[in-house]
Amino acid sequence: MKASDVARALGILALLLILGALGFQYIAGMPPCEMCHWQRWPLIAAAFLGILSGVFFKRDDAMFSIALLVILLVAASGAIGVDQAGVEWKWWAGPQACTGNRIDFHGLGDLNVPGQVRCDLPSFRLFGLSLAGYNALISLGSALLGLALLLKGRR
């Protein structure tokens, strides 16, 4: 498989993952936590780079580097997903900003204001995995497949 095809395929996958996350946020009403946002940034970069790379880069050596960068961005999102899934399963501590027993009391006026979304409490599980877990599986699995296809096409 050509490097441009690998970059484009992973870019489209990254775009679909972002659209899925936005669907859960705006259609299903599940606001993201801080770590969820962290997972989105590399996917956004991978989507732009992967989809638009074929337009701007024509040389094979440049496309190989671009495809490798897209693979690394998708894998980075998956690695953050692994980190968040571990925080959700209480295997390790998460960032203090969105985990633990933190209570901020600012008076009776804001009792009905929704609080910050916690990173250590998944809002959704399907077959035991949270959205972070699914992002980790999909992102890391597709990054490995993309790397294998990229290296196979290089031979």
How crowded is residue 114: how many other Cβ atoms within 10 Å of its Cβ? 7
Number of structural domains the chain divides into = 1
Which DSSP string corresponds to the chain?
--HHHHHHHHHHHHHHHHHHHHHHHHTS-----HHHHHHHHHHHHHHHHHHHHHHH---HHHHHHHHHHHHHHHHHHHHHHHHHHHHHTTSS---TTSSSS------GGGTTS--PPPTTS-S-EETTEEHHHHHHHHHHHHHHHHHHHHHHHH-
**Which residues span the domain enclosing 53?**
3-94+121-154
Where residue 97 falls among pLDDT bands split at 50, 70, 90? low
Residue-wise pLDDT for 27-74, tens only, equals 988 888 888 888 999 999 999 999 888 776 666 677 888 999 999 999
Among 24-28, 89-93, 112-116, 125-129, where is mean pLDDT lowest? 112-116
Supply the CATH number for residue 90's domain.
1.20.1550
Amino acid at 54: G
Whether 109 is covered by a domain: the verdict is no
More confident residue, 141 or 118: 141
pTM beyond 0.85: no
Angle CA 145–146–152, to nearest 5: 90
Yes or no: say if 142 and 70 are a contact pair by the CB < 8 Å rule.
no
Whether 111 is covered by a domain: the verdict is no
Whether 18 is covered by a domain: the verdict is yes
Whether 112 is covered by a domain: the verdict is no
Whether 22 is covered by a domain: the verdict is yes
Yes or no: say if 28 and 110 are a contact pair by the CB < 8 Å rule.
no
Q: Largest Cα–Cα distance in the chain? A: 67
The token duo for 98 is: 């969105």
Whether 115 is covered by a domain: the verdict is no
How crowded is residue 149: how many other Cβ atoms within 10 Å of its Cβ? 19
Whether 25 is covered by a domain: the verdict is yes
How crowded is residue 113: how many other Cβ atoms within 10 Å of its Cβ? 7
Whether 17 is covered by a domain: the verdict is yes
